[in-house]
Structure 1
């Protein structure tokens, strides 16, 4: 909801700018931000629970408000939200328009690997060796996620203690 980049709050600024034009804006935090500790051991968590369901509920909340014109509800998705905006719309958002900011047609894991590889250029030689091994390990895990069945994906960790292969598998399969 309130991403901060340095001293800038781009989502807040955008919301305030739209509001000044008489456009109603509804922003909210993701479930994983608000309930992170409770959800971190949820092995079946996917973008459907983390993002899609709440975006659809938000749209329905606006449509139920008699002050709103239900025929003028749009979604703005940034980054992963931009990647998911078409899916949110297709799964029940029924928006009148979709605005995608910094979205990508690529899979999330591909973007993450490329971002990690880009960081390599800023590292000293010793750290590059370590980082290359870590990136190779993560790449191997990512390359295998679409070969896992649902239960295997829910029990296979890909990042840290709590991020399971299922999260990436479910998101990636929906975009295929």
Structure 2
């Protein structure tokens, strides 16, 4: 079995979440993939980007205070490309007693390497992504109800749910591994 980013996108995952998932593990160690792990990473990514989006963009970064954090990040990557430790540096900066401008400066510097678009999400986008995840949760709940109705041979309910999903522009596909779905283009 193999996984493609396109498949993850069809399932509603942001490719940057998968990148963050990969960065949390050392490149020399086997990566154990589960959708549960990816879901946890998606929640962490969403929480992280919302927290960063909430930082004030006013002021000027104090590069002198930022230097020790840049050094820590560089040391992490110099230590056999330890991206997991590099990612930890982002969280350390958010917890640090630094002004928001310095935090944003550091996160931008780290993101030049991590490429997670950590500062690209505006507060409005953070709200939109939250709304998207609520819609995805609603679709998942409807699919679960439809699956249950089909198992109980309640065809009227299953058909009604299928019609509701169709109205939401959701394409469902029954496979041997369960139901796959995506939004119509």
TM exceeding 0.5? no
- Please give the TM-score of this superposition, normalised by the length of structure 2: 0.22
- Please give the TM-score of this superposition, normalised by the length of structure 1: 0.23
Query: Which of structures 1 and 2 has the bigger CA Rg?
Result: 2
Q: RCO (CA 8 Å, sep 6+): is it higher in 1 or 2?
A: 2
Of Structure 1 and Structure 2, which has the larger fraction of its residues in helix?
2
